[in-house]
Amino acid sequence: MNNKKNSIIQFFIVIAAVLAVNFLAGLYFTRFDFTKEKRYTLSNGTKDILANLDHEVVVNVYLDGDFPANFKHLKNSTCEMLDEMKAYANGNLSYNFIDPFIGSTSEQQNALLDKLTKAGLQPTNLMVKTEQVKTQKLIVPGALVNLNGKQLPVQLLQNQSKWGAGSQEEVINASIENMEYQFASTIKKLSEKNKPLVGFLLGHGELNDRELADIGHTLSQSYELRRVDMNVVKLADLIKFKTVVIAKPSMHFEEAEKYKLDQFLMHGGRLLWLIDQVNAETDSIRNRGSALAYPKELNLDDQLFRYGVRINYDLLQDAYSARIPVMIGSGQQAQQELLPWVYYPLLMAQTNNPIVRNLDPVRTQFVNSIDTIANKGIHKEVLLSTSPYTRKIAAPTMLSLSIIEDESDPKKFNAGPQAVAVVLEGKFKSVFAGRTIEGVDQSVPFSQGEQESRMIVISDGDIIRNEISALDKTVFPLGFDKYTQQTFGNKLFVENCIDYLTDDSGLLTLRTKEVKIRLLDKQRIITEKIKWQLINTLMPVLAIILFGILHHYYRRKKYSK
């Protein structure tokens, strides 16, 4: 009777404990992440974005179907990330995995692919290596995020240009590392009621709307874009902008215009400078056989120097460069080949800064070197630079395509890596402090520099310029090389620059999230395959048999008494 009474008491204690745990779990929500790098832990910024949603977010992921192991890993990681986000979204997030190639005719599949492409996703035809053979599979490694009638794409597979270099695990891993930022920033852009103002300067020969069409279309989904004429705009209206972009000017800046830019910065505005100090164009070289590259007179040197940088009047040659078509030979033996053009450096990130982390090479044209100037209170960091095999050419200089046919002497490419893109942040000092400038805009009180601000200086205006077809005038995607059919990292780089300058939430720092790769030894898998198959097959069976034998003798010994 005592044993029965104790069992009943224990039963009710267990029931009470379970009820208490469920009650407390309903009051206090938490999740535990036991991974070393906290791969399943969302940032506070992401949690705030999800907690403040007032409409349901629907995510359609087009990464479903029969995939190799790499893509199954990417799919599972996407599912895990969306599960984490769903847990913090208070019921305002749902997702679906869709196979775009199942249960439809080829015409329907083509129509869907065209629809997804227009929505911003990039179908990818990849050569996937298996243990025995290589297979080719068309996939759509992306998602469409929908909120309150608006839609934005998320490209899940990053660094696709590195896929064929034998680093598939690194590409998938980089994509997983960047996944939280991709989804969080997209949801944030969709949920913002008022888009931040971003202005593109005009009036000094800057790139036109056609040349900025692709990046303009991309940014317009997240920002309100406007053209800004410095001769017309009032300073009081200019400071309403969050960021102003100066994209490849070619004409002189007046002091009154520089004053507006200066005071815009002093009042907390952000600036993206894309400046060519030397006038050089490949088309001129092709048409004439050679062309003179000469310095521009923009009248911006003193202003940039005051802020902490100097763009030099030189051109950089780099052994690691993009290719252009060149006619080799003469007469009937002449043929066109794609050869490296040393004036088109491919820039790589030399830092773990979130703007450039896991970024594909950035294609440039006729870049200048940048020096940073000691400036107290201003933090500077080089974002992009040339390879160690670089050569400086002072301007003015004659340019000719004949340099391609000449064997370049490696000993001449000894200048080392040269900075081409630099980020600066802190309290800048006004270049007009202590100066009297007549006729400047007085609609806003003068500030010598009391607010924190940011700027990015890039010594190539073509980084942001998309190519235009000479045949039908269609616009190529930014970063797309029409000769090699390769897409470089220009668009993502510019997007990240604008996001960094415009966003104060620090969401971009999520791009520094690191997920370590813990790979199996492929050679050991091949050589020890039979051994481990036998161990994993026989050991559980032997363990169960041994347990049964021991249990049998234990019971005989216990009950024989």
d(CA 354, CA 500): 9
Q: Look at residue 199 in the predicted model and tell me its pLDDT.
A: 96
3-state secondary structure of 364: coil
Does the pLDDT value for residue 511 go beyond 80? no
Q: Look at residue 178 in the predicted model and tell me its pLDDT.
A: 83
Give me Rg for the CA atoms of the chain. Answer: 30
Q: Look at residue 165 in the predicted model and tell me its pLDDT.
A: 46
pLDDT in tens, 173-227: 778 888 888 898 889 888 888 889 999 999 999 999 999 999 999 899 889 999 9
**Rounded to whole angstroms, what are the CA distances from 70 to 63, 82, 138?**
12, 19, 14
**Rounded to whole angstroms, what are the CA distances from 391 to 13, 411, 419?**
79, 10, 13
Residue-wise over 296-307: b if at least 16 C-beta within 10 A, else e? Answer: bebebeebbebb
In percent, how much of the chain has pLDDT > 90?
38
Does the pLDDT value for residue 139 go beyond 50? yes
Name 51's Cβ contacts closer than 8 Å, sequence gap at least 6.
Answer: 88, 89, 90
Q: Look at residue 521 in the predicted model and tell me its pLDDT.
A: 64
pLDDT winner (highest mean) among 349-358, 488-497, 521-530 = 488-497
Backbone angles phi, psi at 112, to 5 degrees: -65, -40
Q: Look at residue 238 in the predicted model and tell me its pLDDT.
A: 94
Backbone angles phi, psi at 214, to 5 degrees: -70, -45
Q: Answer yes or no: are the C-beta atoms of 480 and 151 closer than 8 Å.
A: no
Q: What is the pTM for the complete model shown?
A: 0.79
Task: Tell whether the torsion through CA atoms of 185, 189, 191 and 195 is positive or negative.
Answer: positive
Q: Is the peptide bond before 396 cis (omega within 30 degrees of 0)?
A: yes
Strand partners, 454: 425
Task: Tell whether the torsion through CA atoms of 492, 496, 502 and 505 is positive or negative.
Answer: positive
Q: Look at residue 166 in the predicted model and tell me its pLDDT.
A: 46
Which element (helix H / strand E) includes 524? helix 522-527
